[in-house]
Amino acid sequence: MTRQNILITGASSGLGKGMAKEFAKLGRNLALCARRMDNLEALKVELLGINPDIKVFIRPLDVNDHQQVFAVFKAFKQDLGNVDRIIVNAGMGKGASIGTGYFEANKQTAMTNFVAALAQCEAAMEIFREQNNGHLVTISSFSALRGSQRAMTVYAATKAGLTSMTEGIRVDTLNTPIQVTTIHPGYIRTEINEKVKSVPFIVDLETGCKAIVKDIENEVKSSFVPHWPWVIIKYIYKMASLKMLKKIG
């Protein structure tokens, strides 16, 4: 099945922007939202340059404004007529070790990566249940597998929660026309980590997004991307002792 009309949150940069480019190459219509409208406007021009035959709609959205999430998703549905796939991608990685005076930063990550993701899933599933069809995709993380230290503690916890919530939705919609996918990216170079020099197995944005879009198109239930080496590393990571996790982090 071809999912022609695709909505992506957090599309102004990083994985959201990279995925939009890959879907434009495939000739898909796009509904893109993020806080930074100037970035979205520039991206729209770029996407129409890649494929002038597609439709691209853009709207500002702060996913922490939960009522706005519902309103924007409904507005995109009116623009497109129907929404075939919604990719819950918006997120952030701010934070520090628990108890070191950075509660507000940690709370912001928790609210954005989980509570706001819940709002996006709720809004998406309302549309899909009404249509009795659709494909929900959540962008989790390799870090969802285990607890992490320092700045990654809350981030990893939110991604574990997102993975679990997505699986729950998958169970809830089993044997229906609604499909549900969770993507767990490994290390992909984006604006968030561009200043970090030493990252093992990191790939460039285009390579990472090609792998992500391939699995989304195949509508897999859950995947770790790029497949190599993360399909192997995930088993090692699951069995690692706390001392090993300390060294890895």
Residues classed as catalytic: 155
Q: For the beta carbon of residue 101, count every other beta carbon within 10 angstroms.
A: 8
- Please name the residues in contact with 163: beta carbons below 8 A apart, sequence gap of 6 or more: 138, 140, 144, 182, 184, 222
* DSSP classification of residue 184: E
Residues 30, 65, 182, 219: is their CA dihedral positive or negative?
Answer: negative
Q: Which has the closest alpha carbon to 187: 13, 15, 21?
A: 15
Q: For the beta carbon of residue 26, count every other beta carbon within 10 angstroms.
A: 14
233 burial level (CB within 10 Å; 0-12, 13-18, 19+): middle
